[in-house]
Chain A
Amino acid sequence: MPFLHRTSHMLLAVAVIAGALSGAVLAQHSQHAPKAIVVDRYVTPDGTISDKRIITLSNGKIAALLPHAEIADKTGVAYYSGAVACPGLIDVRSSMGAYGNTVESAFSVDPSVSAIDSFDPDHRDFRRAVESGITAALIAPSPTNLVAGACAVVKTGGASTGRAGSVLRDDGPLVFGFGPRTWRYDRAPTSRIGAMAMLRSVLGEAKSGSQHARLQSLASGKLDAMLYCSDAMDVGTALRSVGKLAAHTSIIHTSDVYDLTEELAGTKATMIVGPYSFSMSQRTLSMAGVLASAGIDVALAGQMPTRGGHSLRQTAALAVRYGMDSAKARQAITINAAKAAGVSDRVGAIRPGMDADLVIFSGDPLRMDSRVLAVYIDGIRVYSADQHLTMSAGGQR
């Protein structure tokens, strides 16, 4: 994990310990912290829906996946008949819980900005996210600058308190803005050519060691990049400038990369597509499917809170209706999103050793008539449809 910063290691450790402790505390309330969850089916790491499984949990982690059979000791087991267990959904394009706004426009190149600084763990957005099955989010600084700063990746619910809190990464991918959003009338650059000239010079400086540390580590391939693009041209430009330097590149672009599939297929970049709304054009809606079929890693984004909590799954459903493979769509809102955020070692898949962040759906998560029945974060149930109101007695509603 070369990209993990030391501080985040520490935070991680804290989170894990906290999780473990709270797990212990809540162990008596097996309802809230079961030792096993029995579901009819579950979403596998490759995106398919497999047969019946028991998911055993231990210390906030997934301990094992057992075949469906009678369990001898039924205490502390949560049964969800007919339900589908899915890894907690991840929104990789979000400004959730931002305290104040994330637009900082003083400088067009400002790598020192950190999204974590605007993070408000008590924000109501997180509660809404949890109710929609979103258990982790990447919070990005607004990409209105050429170099906009570092992202943060957080969990939307806390194991013990119900607050969002456990920070998966505070020094996430560095955000670059391309396209018209970064051009302003009151400061350079004002145009695409100006932006490109500036970027060339900034990256040149980074390589020669005369730029901010983040840019330097990006230029030396030690940091991920998150590139916000407006049109296909930007994607090409972004790939050719920043993309080839960064450790891993995620490109956020929704409308129009038809012509670039070949080029993208040659890179290891993740394309972040979405959110999709009902009003979007056929061309846009087909985007995710086209990219995924070309073998490109696609993550779908819901853009909470600009969009509601339904947005992430709606995006996936629309992508599937417009040609995306179902398994790939499930991956796109779980493991691929985790990869784009650089946290795929922790979340995004139901696999032993991963954080026990689970959503129990009444059916296939891609179906819009499936409901969220329960949500677990770090093995603790933080939401239950049955006890919609009693859960809130915890004081967080």
Chain B
Amino acid sequence: MTFSTHHQRKTLYRCGFVQLATLAVVAIAMVSQPVRAGGGTIVVKGVTIHVGNGEVIDNGVVVIRDGRIAQVGANLAIPPGAKVIELSGGSLTPGLIDANAALEPTNRMMVDRRNARQVVADLFHGDHKDHKHEAVGCCGSKCSRQLQHASGEKCKQCGFPDTLPMAVGVRRSAMTVEHSSEVIPQTHVIDSVNLRSPDFDRLVGGGVTTVFVAPDSAAVISSQGAIVRTAGPLNARIVRETDAVMAAMGTDPSWRGFGNRQPCRQFVNFYNRRPTTRMGVAWVFRKAMYDTERFEKGAVVYGADAPTEPAMKELRHVLSGEIPLRIQARMQHDILAALRLADEFGLKFTLIEATEAHRCLDELKKAKTPVVYGPVYIDAPGMRRYSSEVDHARLHTLKELLRAGIPTALTANELRDEDGLARQAMYARRFGVSLADVTRCVTETPAKLLGIADEVGTVTSGKRADLVLWNGEPFDGSSKPIVVIAGGEIVVDRRKG
């Protein structure tokens, strides 16, 4: 990729990440222990192969050797000594790619959202940790209790105050959003990605083998994302440590449309204000870019809204196109604002979420802006359902985007339950997108958008063997990934259960 030099340059400390991984041994498998294929050959036969680019091979055979796809075709001869996987009525797709996975980057939050908080409590006061905090285990739904806790209510059992540096409701963003500034491209989301998180197990269990870990959208110009694999040895998990700076339009940077407040739920005042309106958000974005341009030219940049120097050092690369830009926007006018701002600074970007993309197809097409669309909803999860951002959500948006010829990937984003991205694909099918198109939206297209299409994204010989074997038609309500192969190794095997 074009910006590889850039990455090499900045991995001063985090190259340790790779070091760590070389030492670490993987023991992560949610459903079954990974079966090490060694250098052996695996053959998947008798399945319908959905190549990912729209092609379908009936009664197909895939030969996997040394972690790569060696051969693909119908009725191929099976090499002797190969481990054969056969599943009648099954089908095969490339490993799914989520181009905008918002991971909750703590270690085991999927089970217990209290974790980080517990740990903190533990350090201060061990006994406290195990007391059951009614309010602590929740998120979003018990706001009043949270407020009480944030305001210093004590634990009933041990009297330990529940006020910690971090209030409950903002835990997620406390990990991934730096609130000290609105422009933080110098921060890296990879710092808060826990590769051992059960999240990854769940992703791979749902057939997702590669994700772009998206920064949170609560800052106007947020962190840099990362591309990671969901399975395989830890030392080979990180595809790209930093990739693309994420910006956001609309209400997210002003605290999800709820007016701006500090992480501890203090309301903003004159002294700590951040953008409270869409205008403000656009202004911060514009000013950051403008200041960077001026800084480049040697001008002194100052003032309350000026980006910090480390930030500008990164933005420089965004302006030059060296670091890709993503802009998250949901509503029509936010999308249009993003297009306008990009045009103003000559930026190319990828549009993220794009809930109302069906209302500005022409503009997107004209600007040749690719889209990472999703999740599909008509009623948003969490806080957003109370904002007006979802009023124009439609179920056919993906269909329209594809019809307009806009390169579009599908993402599950934060909606991650039993089947995550596969479920999104299921929705898309229900709402009128063909199986071939849907498959492309979760495999080939995201691979292309992320610039990793020469490695993954289709079932093509020579590519990395990231494959998902379904016990029926993919993205059907009654089928699920039965076998997931990542890098030529079977990482999920549900054939017995």
Contacts and interface: CB of A to CB of B under 8 A. Distances in A.
Q: Do chains A and B touch in the complex (CB under 8 A)?
A: yes
Interface in B144-199: 164-166, 173-181, 184, 186-189, 191-192, 194, 196
Contact of A192 (B23, B24, B191): B191
Contact of B119 (A179, A203, A259): A179
Contacts of A241: 13, 16
Given A190-B263, A266-B23, A180 B310 contact: no
A244 interface: yes
Interface in B384-432: none
A298 to B, nearest CB: 17
Interface in B228-258: none
A197 B186 contact: yes
Interface stretch (B126-134, B284-292, B444-452): B126-134
A386 B389 CA distance: 76
A190 B262 CA distance: 10
B119 A277 contact: no
A280 B129 contact: yes
Contacts of A233: 105-107, 192, 194
B367 interface: no
A108 to B, nearest CB: 10
A156 B496 CA distance: 62
Contacts of B223: 193
Nearest to B310: A201
Contacts of A284: 122
Contacts of B24: 259-260, 262-263
Contacts of B179: 185, 190-191, 194
B125 interface: yes
Nearest to A277: B126
A306 interface: yes
A376 interface: no
Given A179-B119, A275-B126, A279-B130, A196 B16 contact: no
Contact of A203 (B13, B23, B129): B13
A271 B413 CA distance: 37
B157 to A, nearest CB: 10
A180 B14 CA distance: 20
Given A184-B165, A192-B191, A231-B106, A197 B310 contact: yes
A232 B107 contact: yes
Interface in A142-166: 144
Contacts of A190: 174, 177-180, 263
Interface in A167-190: 179-190
A43 B259 CA distance: 63
A170 B400 CA distance: 69
Interface string A201-225: 1011000000000000000000000
A230 interface: yes
Interface string A268-287: 00000001111111001000
Contact of B19 (A240, A278, A281): A240
A203 B12 CA distance: 10
A68 interface: no
B188 A232 contact: no
Contacts of B105: 192, 233
Interface residues of B, number: 55
B25 interface: yes
A357 B196 CA distance: 44
B22 to A, nearest CB: 9
B115 interface: yes
A260 to B, nearest CB: 8
Contact of B166 (A183, A186, A263): A183
Contacts of A260: 24
A235 to B, nearest CB: 10
Contacts of A228: 123
Interface in B1-60: 12-14, 16-17, 19-20, 23-25
B120 interface: yes
A276 B126 contact: yes
A228 B120 CA distance: 11
A179 B178 CA distance: 13
A231 B105 CA distance: 12
Contacts of A323: none
Given A180-B165, A262-B25, A279 B126 contact: yes
B192 A193 contact: yes
Contacts of B127: 277-279
B116 interface: yes
Contacts of B478: none
Interface string A234-253: 00110111001000000000
B269 interface: no
B119 A231 contact: yes
Contact of B165 (A185, A197, A262): A185
A255 B117 CA distance: 12
Nearest to A193: B187
Contacts of A255: 118-119, 122, 129
Contacts of A240: 13-14, 16-17, 19-20
A256 interface: yes
Contacts of B173: 191
Contacts of A187: 180
A279 B389 CA distance: 45
B436 interface: no
Contacts of A189: 178, 180
Contacts of B19: 240
A280 B122 CA distance: 9
A324 B112 CA distance: 27
Nearest to A242: B13
Contacts of B178: 188-191, 193-194, 197
A181 B119 CA distance: 10
A254 interface: yes
Contact of B187 (A182, A196, A265): A196
Contacts of A277: 126-127
B264 interface: yes
A163 B168 CA distance: 44
A5 interface: no
A255 to B, nearest CB: 6
A191 B175 contact: yes
Interface in B273-298: none
A200 interface: yes
A232 B131 CA distance: 22
B166 A180 contact: yes
A188 B181 contact: yes
Contacts of B126: 254, 275-277, 279-280, 307
A89 B42 CA distance: 58
Nearest to B27: A259
Given A188-B180, A191-B175, A180 B120 contact: yes
Nearest to B171: A180
Q: Which 8 A-B pairs have the closest CB atoms?
A: A240-B16, A194-B178, A188-B180, A190-B179, A196-B191, A193-B187, A277-B126, A185-B264
18 contacts: A180-B116, A180-B119, A185-B165, A188-B178, A192-B105, A193-B177, A193-B188, A193-B191, A194-B178, A196-B191, A228-B123, A232-B194, A255-B119, A262-B24, A263-B20, A279-B126, A280-B122, A280-B126
Interface of A: 144, 179-194, 196-197, 200-201, 203-204, 228, 230-233, 236-237, 239-241, 244, 254-256, 259-260, 262-263, 265-266, 275-281, 284, 306-307
Given A232-B196, A280-B126, 17 more contacts: A144-B165, A179-B120, A183-B165, A188-B178, A188-B180, A191-B173, A192-B174, A193-B178, A193-B189, A203-B13, A233-B105, A240-B20, A241-B13, A255-B122, A256-B119, A259-B196, A280-B122
